[in-house]
């Protein structure tokens, strides 16, 4: 595969970071040694690398936890004979436990960004009970390790092991839809009209299994992952059956990212999408 063919795989993505990834791939091939990328890539990019063959190369993905969206990539050339490399990442927690204010995802992320951190060098961030858990490139940790306050609340930051990072939680909900077409399910998830859900799909705001999906008539399958920009990530668990009117009842689990990342109630989320 050449550069042109590689770029054509990501026509709807940020060309700058795609070119950067290709340059790392070329470098790994030329020196016959592994390369670890210096940014975290979104799922619509790393998921493609898991499916294609680029000159026999291997790609290792590392993120905050098994459900993380942003992942660092290690590129291993075909003829590399050394040991499997380890990611140069630091897992951390920012403890803002207090009795006065509930710190939200946006509070932690905003404070970190104010330190001059580029979003690409930071992985996912999970917030639970005033504690933020995150992962960052090892060489950049020193920028945040002396963080003292978040929204005027004193905090303590420390390195942790990956095993201490909590898993994303799921919330179970039932939705009733006339069919399992993408536009129908998106409309029910967002509590919008079919016209609005079709608009979200046409504008490229909807991904299925981390790939932008513009076919509104696509029929979803169990375990499909639906990501709606500025809304959240949704996983089809199973189809329960039909109600008396013949509409399909679907049981879906929603990653806690929906509430943790955007810090809104479901009703507030519905209002934002109108």
pLDDT tens, residue by residue, 122-147: 999 999 999 999 999 999 999 999 99
* CA 169 to chain centroid: 14
Q: What is the mean pLDDT of residues 25-53?
A: 92
Q: Which phi and psi angles does 18 have, rounded to 5°? A: -70, -45
The predicted pLDDT at position 250 comes to 63
| 89-164 and 170-273 have identical folds | no
The predicted pLDDT at position 50 comes to 86
The rounded distance, in Å, linking the Cα atoms of 116 and 240 is 48
The predicted-structure confidence for 226-273, as pLDDT tens digits, reads as follows 888 877 778 877 666 766 667 666 665 554 444 444 454 445 545 554
What are the structural domain ranges in the chain? 3-76, 89-164, 170-273
Asked whether residue 221 carries a pLDDT value surpassing 50, the answer given is yes
Q: What is the pTM of this model?
A: 0.74
The rounded distance, in Å, linking the Cα atoms of 101 and 187 is 35
Asked whether residue 94 carries a pLDDT value surpassing 60, the answer given is yes
Residue by residue, DSSP assigns 217-247 as TPBP-TT-EEEETTTEEEEEEEEEEE-TTSP
Residues 6+ away with beta carbon under 8 Å from 127: 103, 104, 105, 108, 133, 260
Instruction: Specify the CATH architecture of the domain 89-164.
Output: 2-Layer Sandwich (3.30)
CATH of domain 170-273: 3.10.290.10
Q: Which residues of 136-147 are buried (b: 16+ CB within 10 A; e: fewer)?
A: bbeebbeebeeb
Task: Between 263 and 59, name the one with better pLDDT.
Answer: 59
């Amino acid at each position: 595969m050449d550069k042109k063919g590689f770029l054509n795989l990501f026509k709807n993505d940020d060309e700058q970071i795609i070119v950067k990834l290709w340059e790392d791939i070329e470098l790994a091939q030329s020196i016959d040694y592994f390369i670890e990328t210096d940014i975290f890539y979104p799922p619509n990019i790393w998921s493609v690398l898991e499916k294609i063959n680029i000159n026999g190369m291997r790609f290792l993905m590392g993120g905050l936890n098994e459900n993380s969206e942003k992942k660092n990539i290690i590129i291993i050339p075909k003829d590399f004979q050394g040991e499997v490399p380890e990611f140069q990442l630091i897992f951390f927690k920012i403890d803002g436990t207090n009795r006065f204010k509930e710190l939200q995802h946006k509070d932690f992320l905003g404070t970190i960004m104010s330190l001059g951190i580029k979003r690409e060098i930071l992985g996912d961030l999970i917030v639970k009970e005033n504690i933020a858990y995150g992962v960052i490139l090892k060489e950049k940790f020193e920028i945040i390790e002396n963080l003292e306050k978040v929204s005027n609340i004193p905090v303590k930051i420390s390195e942790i092991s990956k095993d201490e990072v909590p898993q994303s939680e799921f919330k179970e909900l039932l939705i009733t839809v006339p069919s399992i077409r993408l536009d129908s399910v998106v409309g029910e998830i967002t509590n919008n009209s079919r016209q609005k859900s079709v608009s979200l799909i046409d504008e490229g705001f909807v991904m299925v299994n981390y790939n932008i999906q513009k076919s509104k008539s696509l029929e979803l399958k169990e375990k499909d992952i639906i990501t709606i920009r500025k809304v959240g990530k949704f996983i089809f668990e199973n189809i329960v059956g039909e109600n008396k009117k013949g509409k399909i009842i679907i049981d879906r689990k929603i990653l806690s990212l929906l509430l943790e990342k955007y810090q809104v109630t479901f009703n507030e989320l519905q209002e934002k999408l109108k």
